[in-house]
């Protein structure tokens, strides 16, 4: 069975982009792949965080993983910091990466270009920790949204470099990017992707938003003056984004969604999209409440840690031995 691995960093409440671009796919893949899904909690400390707030996001993220349908008996669901081998391997991989590679990583480059100062060293090197997260498990595929492709590319480059230098050490993984919904855009500014850490939350639908709030956000999403519901990301980015959301949630193609709405006015189209989103949130939130009040999170993480750690510890051992630094 081929292996897959992916994770989400709980730097805020999970949103519809995380669901469509990542989570819903993880749930499908757990049926046919050996699936490893982790909560990237170490990645949250790369930028200053409020510990109380981050703890809530962390618990909510795990509960939402489970509410979305991830199942501890099908997938290995674990907390990154429960498997400390990640940090060890991350250091080793950082010693096999170049400054120029990290300079080019989008998140760091964007912030530097904006003139931000005082970024932590961890923020600069986190892509090498991410490479460790991936390479540790010899995954065949890494299902991610479009924005994360660069990180998987770095992991591939490091793997190839180390394999060439020391002999076969890591499987070189492939990014797996869904055809529909790999980049859900902000509802208010469809030129930017929907993100947890945006200053304004009007353009982002959080999975724990009340149905009323979510409906309102969709109804006030930015559109255009063309007045035809069609997929044209250049001239109608807002409408195209709403079509993508609808198509992804209904599991149909964008073309099929376009056909459904071809004679709709924008207001009526938005109502239909809002209804789909609300139905998803109601289902997720009812399961979330049940999960949060049970011991399922603890049981899931205990089981996940045990399985993930076995693989991680063998891999780290192999790497240390190959590098000649293990006694
Ligand atoms: N808008 C999006 N559309 C589709 N997929 C998305 N993903 C994130 N945003 C979208 C995918 O979700 C997975 C987990 O991402 P992450 O939360 O670990 O990091 P991120 O991509 O940096 O997400 P955010 O919301 O933008 O976080 P912040 O604001 O903290 O940087 C990934 O597979 C990602 O592609």
Identify the residue whose C-alpha is closest to ligand 1 atom 12. Answer: 18
Q: pLDDT at position 200, please?
A: 80
List, by residue range, all CATH 3.40.50.620 domains of the chain.
3-177+295-323
Q: What is the Cβ-side half-sphere exposure of residue 262, based on CA atoms within 13 angstroms?
A: 6
* Cβ of 297 less than 6 Å from ligand 1: no
Q: What is the pLDDT of residue 167?
A: 97
Q: What pTM, to 2 d.p., does this model score?
A: 0.93
**Ligand 1 atom nearest to 146, measured from its CA:** 35
Residue nearest (by alpha carbon) to ligand 1 atom 16:
8
For the domain made up of 211-289, give the CATH fold: Tyrosyl-Transfer RNA Synthetase (1.10.240)
Ligand 1 atom with the smallest distance to the CA of 15 is 25
Q: Is 145 in the pocket of ligand 1 (CB under 6 A)?
A: yes
Whether residue 89 contacts residue 135, with contact meaning beta carbons closer than 8 Å, is answered with yes
* CB of 199 closer than 6 angstroms to any ligand 1 atom: no
- pLDDT score, position 197: 78
Residue 184's pLDDT is what?
97
pLDDT of residue 196: 87
Compute, in angstroms, the gap from residue 277 CA to the centroid of ligand 1.
18
Residue nearest to atom 26 of ligand 1 (CA): 195
pLDDT (tens place) for every residue of the chain, 327 residues total: 999 999 999 999 999 999 999 999 999 999 999 999 999 999 999 999 999 999 999 999 999 999 999 999 999 999 999 999 999 999 999 999 999 999 999 999 999 999 999 999 999 999 999 999 999 999 999 999 888 999 999 999 999 999 999 999 999 999 999 888 889 999 999 999 999 877 788 999 999 999 999 999 999 999 999 999 999 999 999 999 999 999 999 999 999 999 999 999 999 999 999 999 999 999 999 999 999 999 999 999 999 999 999 999 999 999 999 999 999
Name the segment(s) of the chain with CATH classification 1.10.240.10.
Answer: 211-289
Identify the CATH assignment for 3-177+295-323 out of 1.10.3720.10, 3.40.50.620, 3.40.50.2300, 3.40.980.10.
Answer: 3.40.50.620
Catalytic residues: 112, 193, 196
Regarding the beta carbon of 193 and ligand 1, being less than 6 Å apart is answered yes
For residue 197 and ligand 1, the question of a CB distance below 6 A is answered with yes
């Amino acid at each position: 069975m081929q292996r897959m691995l992916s994770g989400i960093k709980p730097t805020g409440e999970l949103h519809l982009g995380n669901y469509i671009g990542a989570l819903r796919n993880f749930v499908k893949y757990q049926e046919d792949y050996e699936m490893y899904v982790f909560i990237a909690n170490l990645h949250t400390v790369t930028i200053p965080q409020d510990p109380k707030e981050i703890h809530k996001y962390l618990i909510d993220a795990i509960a939402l993983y489970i509410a979305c349908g991830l199942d501890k008996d099908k997938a290995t669901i674990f907390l990154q910091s429960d498997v400390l081998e990640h940090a060890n391997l991350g250091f080793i991989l950082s010693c096999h990466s170049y400054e120029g590679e990290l300079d080019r990583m989008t998140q760091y480059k964007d912030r530097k270009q904006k003139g931000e100062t005082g970024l932590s060293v961890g923020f600069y090197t986190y892509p090498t920790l991410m490479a460790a997260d991936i390479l540790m498990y010899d995954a065949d595929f890494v299902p991610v949204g479009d924005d994360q492709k660069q990180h998987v590319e770095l992991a591939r480059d490091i793997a190839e470099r180390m394999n060439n230098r020391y002999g076969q050490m890591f499987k070189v993984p492939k990014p797996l990017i869904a055809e529909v919904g790999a980049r859900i855009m902000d509802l208010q500014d469809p030129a930017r992707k929907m993100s947890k850490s945006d200053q304004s939350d009007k353009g982002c639908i959080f999975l724990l938003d009340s149905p009323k709030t979510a409906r309102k956000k969709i109804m006030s999403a930015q559109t255009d003056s063309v007045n035809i519901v069609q997929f044209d990301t250049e001239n109608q980015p807002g409408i195209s984004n709403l079509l993508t959301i609808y198509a992804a949630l209904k599991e149909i193609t964008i073309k099929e969604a376009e056909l459904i709405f071809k004679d709709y006015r924008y207001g009526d189209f938005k109502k239909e999209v809002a209804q789909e989103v609300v139905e998803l949130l109601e289902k997720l939130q009812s399961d979330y409440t049940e999960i949060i009040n049970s011991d399922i999170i603890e049981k899931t993480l205990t089981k996940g840690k045990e399985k993930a750690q076995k693989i991680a510890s063998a891999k780290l051992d192999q790497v240390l031995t190959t590098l000649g630094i293990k006694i």
